[in-house]
Amino acid sequence: MKIDIPIPCPTCGGKMYSVSYESSISLLKKRSWQVCKECDFERNSEEFKKSICCA
Ligand SMILES: [Zn+2]
């Protein structure tokens, strides 16, 4: 599942989208990360949230 997000890429300033999927192995864990449409930059959404709260 891909969702456009209003956060610019930190590398090139391009548009990013969020990707998420629910693993069939760990049912309770939902993984998601953010991907840049322009340069394929990726980051884990959880790490990103941590970096915001601890900045
Ligand atoms: Zn980028």
| Residue with tokens 């959404």, as numbered in its chain | 45
CA of 54 to the centre of ligand 1 (A): 23
Give the model's confidence band at 53: pLDDT under 50 very low, under 70 low, under 90 confident, else very high: confident
CA of 4 to the centre of ligand 1 (A): 14
Predicted model pTM: 0.70
CA of 35 to the centre of ligand 1 (A): 8
Break the chain into its structural domains and give their ranges.
2-53
Within 8 A by CB and 6+ apart from 39, the residues are 9, 11, 12, 14
So what's the pLDDT on residue 27?
A: 55
Q: pLDDT (tens digit, 9 = 90+) per residue, 10-49? A: 999 999 999 987 666 655 566 788 999 999 999 988 777 7
Tell me, which fold does domain 2-53 have in CATH?
N-terminal domain of TfIIb (2.20.25)
CA of 1 to the centre of ligand 1 (A): 20
